[in-house]
C-alpha cells in the first residue's frame, strides 16, 4: 500500500519533466530556425572574389630589377545593388589585372548536403579607397539579390551579429558573435573607426558582410588582430555608414573626395589640458596651420581650441575631421574657437584635400590624357610642371602621371600621381603622344618595364599589358 502511494506521488513530477524540456526546446528551436533562414537569405548575396595580378619582386628575390611575378589573392564580397554592384575590401583587389566573382548558385532543392558550384563572372573595378579599405565592383548581371546597408550609428555593444564569407577559401561560411565595440579607433586621432566583433573572422573573410539579425549589413569585414595568424576573437569591420558614403562617391566619379581646411588637429588629453591650463579635458586643439592655406587665411592659429563646427560641439579630432570631409568642396564651415579667454567665430572655406590621388588631377582630362593600358592620366612634363613637381634628377623630357584611373592594370606597386615616366622597355618617351604611339604597337599580354622617377628615386614598374 505504501509502495503504491509512493509511486502515485511521483507520477506528476515525472510527467512534468518532459513538459519543462519541451518548453525550453521550443524557443531554442525557433531561434535556431530564424538563424537558418537568415543564413539562407544572406548567402544568396555573398560572393567570392578572386584577383589575379603581378607584383614586383624584391631585391632579395631577383637579381634583375623590375621583374614581376604572378600572384593570386581571394576574399569575399557582398551584393549591394541588384544591377550588379558589389562591395569588397580594397586590399583584396589592389594589384590585380583581372578580378573574378563567384556568384552563389541558387538552392537546388535536392537532397545532397553539398551545394552546387557557383557561376564565375568577370568583374570591373569601379573604384577603390585605400583610406577606408573599400572597393566597388561591377558585374554585368541583372536582378541580383542585394542586401540593404543598415544605419551603423544604431549598432550597440552586445548586439548579435553574423559574419559571412569565404575564410581560407571555404565558400559559404557563416560565424556568429556579438559586437564587442560599436566604434573602435585603432590609432589616436585616426579618422577611421571600426566595429569590433568576436564573430570569428579569418583570412578570406575580407570584404564579406557583417550582418545584424534582420539581415542588413552593418559593416564590411576588413581586418583582425592576431598573434597566431588566425581568429582570436578580435575582428574589425568598416561601419556601413562609411561604406555607403564611399560607395556613393565611387559610383559618381570613381574616387573619393575629402574636404580640408588646411589645419592639423589633435584630441585634447588631460595632460595637455593641465599643461595649457585649459578649461576642459576634452575637445579639439589646432596643432598646425598650413602656410597660405584656408585656415591661415581665415585667421586660425596653432593652439586654438575648436569648440564647435556648424553649431555641433566637437568632442575629439576624429569627429572634427569627419565633419570637415563631408561638406561640398567650396562651401564654408562656421567654427567657434577658444583663444585664451576669448571666444571667436571663424568662417573657413572647404577645399579638396590634396593627397597623392588628387594633387595633379586637375591637369588632365579623360578625352586627351587617358592612357588606358596603364590606367593613368598622363601629361607632358613642361618646365612649369618641373617646378611644381620639385627637383627632377634627369634633364630628359618625360611624362608626368597626373592621376590614376580605375581602368587598366591594378598593380601592388603601381603608378602614383607625381611619377615621371622616362622609358618603356628601354625606349625613351618624351611626351604623352610618344607613350601612346609606343603602346599602340604592343598587344595584350606583352611585358612592359617602365622606368619612373618617384620622389627623387628611379625605379621600374613591370607587368603585362591587359
Q: Of the residues 45, 74, 133, 240, which is catalytic?
A: 133
Rounded to 10 degrees, what is the CA torsion of 433, 438, 443, 449? -110
| Backbone phi and psi for residue 9, each to the nearest 5 degrees, phi listed first | -70, -35
Give the closest residue to 207 by CA, choosing from 73, 39, 82, 83.
Answer: 73
Does residue 206 carry a catalytic annotation?
yes
> Whole-angstrom Cα distance, residue 309 to residue 324?
9
Active site residue 133: yes
In the numeric block, which cell numbers belong to residue 290? 598650413
Residue 307 known to be catalytic: no
* Residue 251: closest CA among 362, 361, 138, 365: 138
What contacts 82, CB < 8 A, 6 or more positions away?
142, 143, 144, 145, 146
Catalytic pick among 73, 74, 91, 462: 91
CA 315, 316, 322, 324 dihedral sign is: positive
C-alpha cell at 271: 595632460
How far is the C-alpha of 306 from the C-alpha of 298, rounded, in Å?
Answer: 14
How far is residue 118's CA from residue 2's CA, in Å, rounded to a whole number? 70
Choosing from 45, 206, 231, 240, which is the catalytic residue? Answer: 206
* Catalytic residue IDs: 91, 133, 206
Amino acid at each position: 500500500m505504501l509502495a503504491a502511494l509512493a509511486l502515485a506521488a511521483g507520477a506528476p513530477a515525472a510527467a512534468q519533466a518532459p513538459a519543462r524540456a519541451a518548453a525550453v526546446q521550443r524557443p531554442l528551436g525557433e531561434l535556431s530556425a530564424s538563424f537558418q533562414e537568415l543564413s539562407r537569405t544572406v548567402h544568396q548575396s555573398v560572393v567570392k572574389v578572386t584577383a589575379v595580378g603581378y607584383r614586383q619582386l624584391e631585391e632579395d628575390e631577383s637579381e634583375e630589377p623590375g621583374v614581376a611575378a604572378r600572384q593570386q589573392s581571394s576574399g569575399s564580397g557582398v551584393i549591394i545593388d541588384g544591377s550588379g554592384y558589389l562591395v569588397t575590401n580594397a586590399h583584396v583587389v589592389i594589384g590585380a589585372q583581372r578580378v573574378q566573382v563567384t556568384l552563389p548558385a541558387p538552392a537546388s532543392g535536392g537532397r545532397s548536403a553539398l551545394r552546387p558550384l557557383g557561376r564565375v563572372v568577370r568583374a570591373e573595378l569601379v573604384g577603390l579607397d585605400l583610406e577606408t579599405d573599400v572597393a566597388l565592383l561591377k558585374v554585368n548581371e541583372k536582378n541580383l539579390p542585394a542586401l540593404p546597408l543598415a544605419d551603423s550609428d544604431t549598432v550597440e555593444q552586445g548586439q548579435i551579429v553574423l559574419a559571412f564569407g569565404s575564410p581560407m577559401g571555404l565558400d559559404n561560411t557563416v560565424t556568429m558573435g556579438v559586437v564587442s565595440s560599436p566604434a573602435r579607433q585603432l590609432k589616436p586621432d585616426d579618422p577611421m573607426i571600426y566595429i569590433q566583433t568576436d564573430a570569428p573572422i579569418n583570412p578570406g573573410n575580407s570584404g564579406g558582410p557583417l550582418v545584424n539579425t534582420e539581415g542588413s549589413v552593418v559593416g564590411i569585414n576588413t581586418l583582425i588582430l592576431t598573434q597566431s595568424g588566425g581568429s582570436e576573437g578580435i575582428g574589425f569591420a568598416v561601419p556601413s555608414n562609411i561604406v555607403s558614403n564611399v560607395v556613393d562617391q565611387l559610383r559618381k566619379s570613381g574616387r573619393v573626395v575629402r574636404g580640408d581646411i588646411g589645419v592639423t588637429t589633435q584630441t585634447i588629453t588631460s595632460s595637455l589640458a593641465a599643461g595649457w591650463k585649459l578649461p576642459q579635458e576634452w575637445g579639439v586643439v589646432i596643432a598646425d596651420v598650413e602656410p597660405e592655406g584656408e585656415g591661415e587665411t581665415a585667421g586660425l592659429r596653432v593652439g586654438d581650441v575648436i569648440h564647435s563646427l556648424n553649431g555641433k560641439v566637437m568632442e575629439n579630432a576624429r569627429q572634427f575631421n569627419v565633419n570637415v570631409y563631408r561638406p561640398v568642396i567650396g562651401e564654408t564651415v562656421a567654427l567657434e574657437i577658444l583663444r585664451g579667454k576669448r571666444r571667436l567665430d571663424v568662417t573657413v572655406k572647404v577645399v579638396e584635400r590634396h593627397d597623392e590621388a588628387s594633387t595633379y588631377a586637375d591637369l588632365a582630362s579623360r578625352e586627351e590624357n587617358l592612357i588606358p593600358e596603364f590606367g593613368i592620366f598622363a601629361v607632358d612634363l613642361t618646365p612649369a610642371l618641373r617646378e611644381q613637381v620639385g627637383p627632377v634628377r634627369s634633364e630628359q623630357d618625360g611624362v608626368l602621371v597626373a592621376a590614376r584611373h580605375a581602368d587598366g592594370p591594378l598593380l601592388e606597386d603601381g603608378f602614383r600621381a607625381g611619377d615621371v615616366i622616362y622609358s618603356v622597355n628601354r625606349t625613351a618617351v618624351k611626351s604623352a603622344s610618344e607613350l601612346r604611339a609606343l603602346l599602340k604597337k604592343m598587344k595584350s599580354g606583352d611585358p612592359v618595364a617602365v622606368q619612373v622617377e618617384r620622389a627623387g628615386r628611379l625605379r621600374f614598374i613591370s607587368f603585362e599589358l591587359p
